[in-house]
Structure 1
């Protein structure tokens, strides 16, 4: 039998990769969705990805602590968009740079990230309760 912490980390890893695949598909594959759905849907999924990474790294921590750290990370990355250097701006023009850092600061993105973090945290908490009744 797999130790609970290892099982949790494995589940978070699989879920995070699924979110990354979905988010990348949403942004890259043209499926006829409106630009707003693509932009903010991707931002919600990016927030969920950040939560997944943070929860993986802090697998033994309480959900609310992982949420706080994920919100701090997401807000810091969004704030980084206000900082410009030639190298950073060149990276932002690449697909990887657009997906990881974005190009333009937006407070709306922070709200979308928070929504994704919140949904991911609720699912995580629910699954933790099922696994540990």
Structure 2
């Protein structure tokens, strides 16, 4: 239960930061604007899955998150009218993205790896206390 509360809290912190990066005029350099959003999206996906599946080890959660993120990225290569229409909405842009980018997959791998490492460290600390 304690892990679920921790991961939910981290998810609820990550989401507004990601939305701020995407929608507020923060004056970020282009590289950060482009890839920080992708990394925060992947981090939020990880925390979401870790909240839903609290008994799984971080490596298992990371594997599921990376699989989902990669499949969603690859889905952009397959035109499906209803999904493509959803991608044009604000929610669709945030949740599914619009354009395929191999660089996004790299960003997802880095973000999920770092997040799983953080999760492992936090979970390890919680079991000791």
TM-score above 0.5, yes or no: yes
Equivalents in 2 of 1:92, 1:62: separation in Å? 32
1:108 to 78, 103, 126: 103
Q: Secondary structure at the match of 1:108?
A: helix
Query: TM-score with structure 1 length normalisation?
Result: 0.91
Q: Residue 44 of structure 1 aligns with which residue?
A: 39
How many residues align? The count is 128
Q: In the TM superposition, what are the counterparts of 1:52-71 in structure 2 within 5 Å?
A: 52-71=47-66
Q: Residue 6 of structure 2 aligns with which residue?
A: 11
Superposition RMSD in Å: 1.1
* 2:85 maps to 1:117: no
Equivalents in 1 of 2:31, 2:89: separation in Å? 21
* 2:16 maps to 1:21: yes
Contact 1:27 1:38 in 2 (8 A): yes
2:70 to 71, 75, 80: 75
Gaps of 5+ in 1: 1-5
Moved over 3 A (4+): none
Shift of 1:75: 0.5
2:29 to 6, 31, 34: 34
Q: Residue 3 of structure 1 aligns with which residue?
A: none
Shift of 1:18: 0.9
